[in-house]
Amino acid sequence: MIPFVKRFEAAVYVSACVILGGCSGVQSPLDAQGPEAARVANLFWIFAIVCAFVWAAVVIVLIWAVWAKPPNSREKADPLSVDEHQDRRAGYIVSGLVGLTLAVLCTFTIASFLGSRGLASGEGAIEIEVTGYQWWWEFKYSDPEPTRTFTTANELHIPVGRPIKVALKSGDVIHSFWVPNLSGKMDLIPGQHNELTFSADRPGIYRGQCAEFCGLQHAKMALRVVAEPAQDFEAWRNQQLRPASQPVDPQTSKGREVFERSACILCHAIRGTIAGGRQGPDLTHFGSRQTIAAGTLTNTRDHLERWIANPQAFKPGTKMPQVPLNEDELTALSAYLEALK
Amino acid sequence: MSSSFRKLWLGLAVGISFVMLTACEREERDYAPTEAEKAALGPVPLVTLEPGGKVPPKPNGMSKEYEDNAYHVNQGQQLFVSFNCNGCHGNGGGGSGPALIDDKWIYGGDFSSIAATIRDGRPNGMPSYGRLLAPEQLYQLAAYVRNLGGYVRTDVAPSRADRLWAKPPENLSQKKPGADPVPATGTPPAPR
């Protein structure tokens, strides 16, 4: 049997590790990279400091009450007698302080809320439709000009400094869009139109995560927000608008053929080919993305090949089935998909 | 703690675990197809063109795993819409394709006949999906079509759809009186 002190010590170390993990800045609401997230972080610190102050005050008064000598204890005949006048006065003081604390916290919360609303009506926002599916994200960049509309998945590119207005929809169950470094979370509810506006101050890659339990692979439903300077964003956008690149060598041509005559084509779309499925992520520029399967694996040839060979091994329950393909077909298929830059 | 109280607790715990255990089989999920399932999906088998020629073998023996499994039937329901089966068959009520909720089965209403119909296609419009489906998807679809026909156990049938659905939940729909439809003999019906 481990002695109690040792166990306590171990528990302290473990929880310290968990808490310190929050300092890494990855997916941390306290490491704000945009005005929306900064508001959340500020509110957090205000609440933390006010609550810490109240807690400390209560504990000090409590200790004082336990340790201090009761005043005039000798003179009082009945120690349990109540001085009604003093009691009422103490009641007023405590109620007043509680009311004041509440009022201060409410003011800050409401100010933060109104501030976010002000940002939401910001002009020149980029509008993106986000649809959550089990277990991946679809992003549709809309544009007044229909030919400049395109769809991609799991990787959201945004220009730095411009407000981004995302319309949140769901294709199946309730999900929640949360990129802690950039904004608070908002649910994606089937049949309901939700909107969230945020922006990024600095270029960088910010990890996001589904924040509403949505089934087996909820934990592996991540997204990446790539914030980049305006000209890089425009370049990326123009690249994404192009149809998929044509196969250039025999191997990639064979890969395309495999894609078009097997189960892939029923669910995935590749613009510029006959593949037009809408059940899975759009793969038109798959090779340009950093991850496979909503942040499950980094996007390399080897990972892709193993993912296609047996998706259930990496993400049990994923809607992508194991498609029977032989070794050659697998190699060709992954070569083709990786070439879709 | 008195002993009668302890007995009550023990009884409750045993009772609750029994209730929970009943749920295990209903929702058992196999994510990867077995070798047998993979083998059932080769190239599309063709009828030998000769008088009295043999019909291709049906994908067989999967009915229990899929039909008695709520997870698979539900997946089938999702695929039925995703792969646009309702483009021709409506929500089971038929359209340019035959209805699936009645008890008329041109090519057999048993599990393997339905799986064969989806895999190989049928004359007058039903396309072959054999090479476009992963094995488990084929059986999930077949199980769902069986459910549309009302042959699946009530506790397995879906209680809701993922999309807005114009009809009552399938586990509330009327079950067919009597047993399974007779397996198809393989003789195609006379031309009409």
pLDDT digits over B98-130, tens only? 999 888 889 888 888 898 899 888 888 899 888
Contact B133 A266 (CB under 8 A): yes
In a domain, B4, yes or no: no
Query: Is the domain of A175 the same as that of A275?
Result: no
Q: Of all residues in chain B, what percent carry a pLDDT higher than 90?
A: 14
Shortest distance, CA A325 to any CA of chain B (angstroms): 10
Query: Is the domain of A284 the same as that of A307?
Result: yes
Contact B131 A261 (CB under 8 A): yes
- CB contact B59 to A (< 8 Å): no
Cβ-Cβ pairs closer than 8 A, A with B, add up to 40
- CB contact B83 to A (< 8 Å): yes
| Residues with Cβ within 8 Å of residue B163, at least 6 apart in sequence | B81
- CB contact B155 to A (< 8 Å): no
Q: What number is the average pLDDT over the span B148-164?
A: 81
Domain containing residue A189: 126-236
- Contact by Cβ (8 Å): B85, B170: no
In a domain, B73, yes or no: yes
Which of A36-45, A233-242, B32-41 is predicted with the least confidence, judged by mean pLDDT?
B32-41
Provide the number of structural domains found in chain A.
3
CATH of residue B95's domain is 1.10.760.10
Q: How far apart are CA B73 and CA B141, in angstroms?
A: 7
> Residue A72: its pLDDT value, please?
61
In a domain, A90, yes or no: yes
Last residue of a domain, one of A195, A210, A236: A236
Query: Is the domain of A225 the same as that of A259?
Result: no
In a domain, A80, yes or no: no
pLDDT at B97 over 70: yes
* Predicted ipTM > 0.85: no
In a domain, A56, yes or no: yes
pLDDT at B13 over 60: yes
pLDDT at B2 over 80: no
In a domain, B15, yes or no: no
Look at the alpha carbons of A226, A231, A235, A237 in this order and tell me if their dihedral is positive or negative. positive
Q: What number is the average pLDDT over the span B68-77?
A: 88
pLDDT at A115 over 80: no
Cα B184 to the center of its chain, rounded Å: 16
In a domain, A205, yes or no: yes
In a domain, A242, yes or no: no
In a domain, A17, yes or no: no
Torsion of the alpha carbons at B174, B177, B183 and B184, rounded to the nearest 10? -80
Q: Which residue of A has its CA nearest to B39?
A: A324
Going by pLDDT thresholds of 50, 70 and 90, the confidence category of residue A222 is very high
In a domain, B182, yes or no: yes
Contact A322 B29 (CB under 8 A): no
In a domain, B21, yes or no: no
| Residue carrying structure tokens 């109620």 | A95
Residues of B in contact with A322 (CB under 8 A): 32-33, 134
Q: Which residue of A has its CA nearest to B30?
A: A317
Query: Is the domain of A111 the same as that of A153?
Result: no
> Residue B191: its pLDDT value, please?
47
> Residue A74: its pLDDT value, please?
58
Q: A158 by DSSP, 3-state: which?
A: strand
Which of A2-6, A48-52, A301-305, B104-108 is predicted with the least confidence, judged by mean pLDDT?
A2-6
In a domain, B23, yes or no: no
> Residue A121: its pLDDT value, please?
63
In a domain, A20, yes or no: no
Contact B137 A263 (CB under 8 A): yes
Which of A216, A274, A322 has the most B C-beta neighbours within 10 Å, making it the best mutation to test the interface with B? A322
Contact A321 B132 (CB under 8 A): no
- CB contact B141 to A (< 8 Å): no
Going by pLDDT thresholds of 50, 70 and 90, the confidence category of residue B192 is very low
> Residue A70: its pLDDT value, please?
66
Q: What number is the average pLDDT over the span B19-23?
A: 74
Q: How far apart are CA A62 and CA A287, in angstroms?
A: 63
Last residue of a domain, one of A236, A260, A287: A236
Contact B134 A323 (CB under 8 A): yes
Q: How far apart are CA A98 and CA A9, in angstroms?
A: 36
Contact A265 B132 (CB under 8 A): yes
pLDDT at A133 over 90: yes
Last residue of a domain, one of A211, A236, A261: A236
pLDDT digits (tens, 9 = 90+) for A67-79: 877 666 555 566 6
Q: What number is the average pLDDT over the span A264-281?
A: 91
Which of A217, A266, A278 has the most B C-beta neighbours within 10 Å, making it the best mutation to test the interface with B? A266
pLDDT digits (tens, 9 = 90+) for A162-187: 899 999 999 889 999 999 999 989 99
Domain containing residue B59: 50-192
In a domain, B129, yes or no: yes
pLDDT higher at A22 or A341: A341
Query: Is the domain of A220 the same as that of A321?
Result: no
pLDDT higher at A116 or B7: B7
In a domain, B108, yes or no: yes
Provide the number of structural domains found in chain B.
1
> Residue A79: its pLDDT value, please?
63
Going by pLDDT thresholds of 50, 70 and 90, the confidence category of residue B44 is low
Residue B38 half-sphere exposure toward CB, CA atoms < 13 A = 11
Query: Is the domain of A217 the same as that of A144?
Result: yes
